[in-house]
């Protein structure tokens, strides 16, 4: 399967290829995207990272506060 960041490089015919928008300029855009998607990790490393992120979120006070806010304002649990 293809990883998300490998699809991110705009093709020459893509509208963003010649864009003047700053978000499409420079190699740092693609590099930062690849870092964010952890392209250098194996599947096993990614699974461990995701488990750690989820575990951290479940124990986070900000998650609990946001969940409470969603419940009170929208009835979402």
pLDDT, one tens digit per residue, over 12-32 is 555 555 677 777 777 788 888
In contact, 33 and 6? CB cutoff 8 Å: no
Q: Do 54 and 32 share a structural domain? A: no
**What is the value of pTM for the model shown?**
0.56
Closest C-alpha among 73, 5, 74 to residue 34: 5
Q: Do 73 and 63 share a structural domain? A: yes
**Residue 14 sits in which domain range?**
1-40
DSSP state string for the chain: ---GGGG-SPPTTSTTTT---GGG-SHHHHHHHHHHTTTTS-HHHHHHHHHHHHHHHHT-HHHHHHHHHHHHHH---
The pLDDT tens digits of the residues spanning 42-72 come to 999 999 999 999 999 999 999 999 999 999 9
Q: Do 54 and 33 share a structural domain? A: no
């Amino acid at each position: 399967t293809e990883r998300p960041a490998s699809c991110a490089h705009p093709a020459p015919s893509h509208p963003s290829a010649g864009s003047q928008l700053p978000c499409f300029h420079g190699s740092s855009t693609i590099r930062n995207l690849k870092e964010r998607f952890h392209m250098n990790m194996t599947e096993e490393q990614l699974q461990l990272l995701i488990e750690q992120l989820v575990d951290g979120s479940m124990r986070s006070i900000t998650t609990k506060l946001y969940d409470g806010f969603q419940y009170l304002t929208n009835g979402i649990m």
